[in-house]
Amino acid sequence: MPKDKIRLLLIEDNRLLRDGLASMLKGHKDISVVGASGNSENTVLRIHQMKPNVILLDLGLRSQNSLHVVEIVRKEFPKAKVIVMDLAPVQGDILQFVKAGAAGFILKDASLEDFLTTIRAVAEGEKVLPAILNGSLFSQIIDHAVQTGKTNLTKSIRMTKREAEVIGLISEGLSNKEIGQSLHIATYTIKSHIHNIMEKLALHTRLEVANYAYADGSLARALTKHVSVIKN
């Protein structure tokens, strides 16, 4: 017996991207694009009328708070799955959307094949992160958030005590020199710790580390309480 078609609702501010995605996705037999809109103000009415089981949602909607849209969908349409789209999502944003009920994330510049894979996986009940985050410490935090609704880690992740301290001081806005003075170690050693932290968290800048630390309270507190901390 053939599977039911995936009923997809697309909500995207950028008309060119919206029309392009809708056109490309309509060419696939297992996907039915039931609507494509740049205005999320009538989201509840549209979902009632169109009964999608997957919603592709622009993270940065101008007309309405996208996070609120996800919360409404989870509360009022629990069978509908939301995939959030963005060009360069901040890890802290992803964490908040997962907590709100998003089932997947995809980069707007992803290939059509990636869009199809993500849509089909989410429709089947899977949780999907951008490929660049797979296998990172961040992806483990997301997995735990999905399973428990909490952002604290209970599984063991190797993070040194010094790295946890550095993360806490970065979140307070201290420079490398100030962190070194606070911890009584050389600035070049701080740079090495920051490099290791970014590798483990799949981050690229100090700002991302700080944003992530504040996404759900202090990351340093989460690390010291719930992550396996090893000596330097």
Domain with CATH 3.40.50.2300 in the chain: 6-134
> Looking only at Cα atoms, what is the longest distance across the chain?
68
**Given this structure, which CATH class describes domain 159-230?**
mainly alpha
Q: What is the pLDDT of residues 105-148, one digit of tens each?
A: 898 888 899 999 999 999 998 888 766 555 555 555 555 555 55
Give residue 118's pLDDT: 92
For 189-202, what is the mean pLDDT? 83
pLDDT in tens, 145-158: 555 554 444 334 46
In angstroms, rounded to a whole number, what is the distance separating the alpha carbons of residues 178 and 184? 10
The CATH number given to 6-134 is: 3.40.50.2300
CATH 1.10.10.10 in the chain, residues? 159-230
CB 52 within 8 A of CB 43: no
Q: Which two tokens stand for residue 196?
A: 């290791």
- Total-model pTM: 0.62
Tell me what pLDDT residue 91 has: 66
Mean pLDDT of 17-35: 91
Spatial CB neighbours of 175, under 8 Å, sequence gap ≥ 6: none
H or E stretch including 85? strand 81-86
Q: At residue 2, does pLDDT exceed 60?
A: no
